[in-house]
Amino acid sequence: MLSPVEWKIRGGRSLGPAPFLVFGIVNVTPDSFHDGGQYMQLDQALAHGRMQAEAGAHVLDIGGESSRPFAAPVSLEEEKERVVPVVEGLRDLHCVNGMPWALSVDTYKAGTAAAVLEAGAQIINDISAFAFDPALLDVVAQYKPGYILMHSLGRPTEMQKAPEYGNVVEEILDFFEKKLKELTTAGVPEDRIMLDPGVGFGKTLEHNLAILRGMGRFASLGLPLMAGISNKSMFGMLCNAPAGQRQNATQAATAILAARGVFAHRVHDVAMTVQTLQVAQALAM
């Protein structure tokens, strides 16, 4: 069996103990790499969120700015206009599969984070580790949401230009240790923090594979781990799978990562992922 994990979010609520956590992606963007533009209208986004919940998502992760390589940034006001109504429209959903319901927002902006937390979100998923907007650290310390600390080698506009590491796993581990100290010193409880090594964010295929093979090193920090690998271009390079045909590779990697201790899985196809994780749980020794 997969070892149960518990993660605290805003208000001291717990997600878990559970063998896995599924984040269903709700992109309110015109340019995300997999489904950009499909859910730009509020009614479309709300319907998609409800569908993800019915399929078994424990968390909906709402994003108003694409973080794909070379994506253009979005202003604070435009991002809030995209995501706050979605949070307000989904915040009253009931529990899923016996686990408390939660909403996450994918943002690195302090102003957006404060607005969505006031609107009812309980989790902030930050690709920047509060580097792009240092005021985000103060917001996280004040509201104490669940906080996903992710590694990225710079902003999306530049991160894939020429990423280099000596040892990618050890460098990310050092990065996590430094950022965890900053978070806890600022007053963020350690039990609110989840770690995401940021597959595809300033990494080559070789870097990504090394990270996925080395997940056990990040688990040594004693915090829940997230994998954000759904339909990513690494599978196109690895399997010669074009966009729209990477579901099988995504599910195979998800099952292996769950067996290696990854708790949270951020995905486009919730129903398929839930099946994959149920099988992984049943077969785990």
Mean pLDDT of the residues in the chain: 92
What's the rounded mean pLDDT across residues 24-35? 73
Tokens 């770690």, located at residue:
195
Is 232 a residue of the active site? Answer: yes
* Residues 278, 265: Cα–Cα separation, whole Å: 13
Q: Where are the domains of the chain?
A: 5-283
Q: What is the DSSP letter of 133?
A: -
CA neighbor of 242 nearest in space, from 77, 36, 34: 34
Of all residues in the chain, what percent are helix, strand and coil, respectively (each to 5)?
40, 15, 40
Q: 195 and 162 in contact (C-beta within 8 Å)?
A: no
Give the pLDDT band (50/70/90) at residue 284: confident
Query: 266 an active-site residue?
Result: yes
Q: What is the pLDDT of residues 243-280, one digit of tens each?
A: 889 999 999 999 999 999 999 999 999 999 999 999 99
Fold of 5-283: TIM Barrel (3.20.20)
Q: Which of 10, 179, 232, 246 is catalytic?
A: 232
Predicted confidence (pLDDT) at residue 200 exceeds the cutoff of 60 = yes
What's the confidence (pLDDT) of residue 37?
58
Percent of the chain at pLDDT > 90 equals: 80
Mean pLDDT in residue range 143-150: 98
Distance between the two ends of the chain, CA-based, in angstroms?
6
Encoded tokens for 263: 């708790």
- pLDDT > 90? residue 80: yes
pLDDT at residue number 95: 59
Active-site residue, selected from the candidate residues 80, 155, 246, 266 = 266
Backbone φ and ψ of 7, nearest 5°: -135, 130
| Alpha-carbon span 191 to 63, nearest angstrom | 24
What is the rounded distance in angstroms from the CA atom of residue 46 to the CA atom of residue 241?
A: 30
Residue 21 has pLDDT above 90, yes or no: yes
- Residue 212 near residue 229, CB atoms below 8 Å: yes
Q: What is the pLDDT of residues 158-169, one digit of tens each?
A: 888 889 999 999
- Residue 158 — φ and ψ, nearest 5°? -130, -15
Q: 142 near 117, Cβ under 8 Å?
A: no
